[in-house]
Amino acid sequence: MCAVDKTAIGFLGLGAYVPERVLTNYDLEQMVDTSNDWIVTRTGIRERRICAPGEGAVAIATESARRALEDAKLAVDDIDLIICCTFTSETLCPSAACQVQRNLGATRPIPAFDLAAACSGFIYGCSVAASFIRSGVYRRVLVIGVDAISKFIDWSDRNTCVLFADGGGAAVLGQVEEGHGLLGQSLGADGSGADAIRLLSSGVADPFSATAMNGHRSTITMNGHDVFKFATRILGTAVEEALADAGQGLKAADLDLIIPHQANVRIIESAAKKLKLPMDRFVINIDKFGNTSAGTVPLAMNDARQDGRLKPGTLFAVVAFGGGLTYAASIWRW
C-alpha cells in the first residue's frame, strides 16, 4: 500500500473494443466435454468474443485507444506516454504500445511501453500513469488494457477454454477537477502463487502455425482451485485496503459502484458478501465477454458509463486479481 497525493488525477476519456466473432457456450459444447448449463452456473459466462484470423491484441488495443482519444476529444499527439497492459501481444518486441503509437499516426516520439501484470494490468497501469502525472513528468497518459487469450488457449482443455476470451479498453488519464479522480489504491503480488497461471512464452504472431514453435504451441495453464481461493480472499481485502488508503473515513458502503475483474461471477458474489454489499452495486458483464484478462476492467467501465451507472460524481472502486499472482484496487470519484 502507498499513500496517494491528493492532486486530482482522473479519467479524461474511455473507449473499448471487442472482436466481432461470438463464441457461445453451445459452440463450446461441440468442441469439448462441457455444457452451457455447467458454464453458466459455475462461471456466469454465456458467450465471449474471439479474434478473427490476423486480428490480435494490437488491433484491439489500437481501436480501444482511438475510441478513448475521441471520447477525450484529444489527438494522439496530445498524449505524453502510452502504456499497453497485456501479456498476449503478437510480438514481445516491438511492444504492443509502440505498434499502437504507429497505428494511431503519432508524429511525435511519444514514449511507449508494455506492462505485464496479467488481469491486474489495467489498474497497475493507471497507477503508473497517475504517478507520472503527479510528479509533473507527463500531463496526459494513454493506458490500454487488452488481451487476446484465444491465441494461447488449448481448445481441448475445458479448464481454461470456457473462461478466457479477447477484448479490451483504454483510458486517457490527466488532471481533473479538485475532489474528483484517484483517491486511494492498493497494489500487490504474491509470487508464492506464481505457478497457478502460466504462459511459458508469448509473442507468436501466428500461434496456430505448425512451425511457429517447432510444432509446439505455448498455451495457458491454470490451477483453477488455487486461483479461486486467492481471488475470494483478495478481492474484498484489496478494496478495503484501497479505501483505507483514501482516508476520509470512507467505507465500502459509501461506494456507489464496484467494477471488478470479470473472472467468475461466484468470485464477485463472494467479494460482495465480504464487503457486505448488494450485488446490484457491482458491474457485471462476464455473461457477454468472459474473462479478457487486462481487458475486463476498462471494458466494464465503458459498459457502466454507457449504461449511465458511471457518471460525474460517482464514487467507485476498480479491483482485479490474476497471474503472478497479482492484485490491485483503486478508489476514484468520476
> Does 119 sit near ligand UT7 (CB under 6 A)?
yes
Nearer to ligand UT7 among residue 234 and residue 304 (C-beta): 234
Identify the residue among 185, 202, 218, 264 touching ligand UT7 (CB under 6 A). Answer: 264
159 is catalytic: no
**d(C-alpha 195, C-alpha 167), whole Å:** 24
Of 147, 157, 154, 165, nearest to 24 by C-alpha is 165
Nearer to ligand UT7 among residue 12 and residue 239 (C-beta): 239
Gap between the terminal Cα atoms of the chain: 22
Backbone angles phi, psi at 91, to 5 degrees: -130, 140
Nearer to ligand UT7 among residue 202 and residue 264 (C-beta): 264
By Cβ distance, which residue is nearest to ligand UT7?
224
CB 235, min distance to ligand UT7, A: 10
Residues 222-241 that bind ligand UT7 (CB under 6 A): 222, 224-225, 227-228, 231
Nearer to ligand UT7 among residue 206 and residue 226 (C-beta): 226
Joined grid coordinates for residue 134: 503527479
Joined grid coordinates for residue 215: 510444432
Three-state secondary structure call for residue 191? helix
Identify the residue among 7, 24, 34, 270 touching ligand UT7 (CB under 6 A). Answer: 34
Do the Cβ atoms of 146 and 82 come closer than 8 Å? no
Identify the residue among 18, 23, 25, 43 touching ligand UT7 (CB under 6 A). Answer: 43
Q: Judged by CB under 6 A, how many residues of this single chain contact ligand UT7?
A: 18
Nearer to ligand UT7 among residue 6 and residue 266 (C-beta): 266
CA dihedral sign of residues 75, 77, 80, 84? positive
216 is catalytic: no
Residues 155-174 that bind ligand UT7 (CB under 6 A): 158-159, 162
CA distances, 112 to each of 63, 102, 182, 199, 203 (Å): 16, 10, 23, 24, 17
Identify the residue among 9, 72, 149, 263 touching ligand UT7 (CB under 6 A). Answer: 263
Residue 328 pairs in a beta bridge with 187, 320
Do the Cβ atoms of 241 and 275 come closer than 8 Å? no
Which spans of this chain sit near ligand UT7 (rule: CB under 6 A)? 34, 38, 42-43, 119, 158-159, 162, 222, 224-225, 227-228, 231, 263-264, 291, 322
Question: Hey, which residues are catalytic here?
Answer: 119, 261, 291
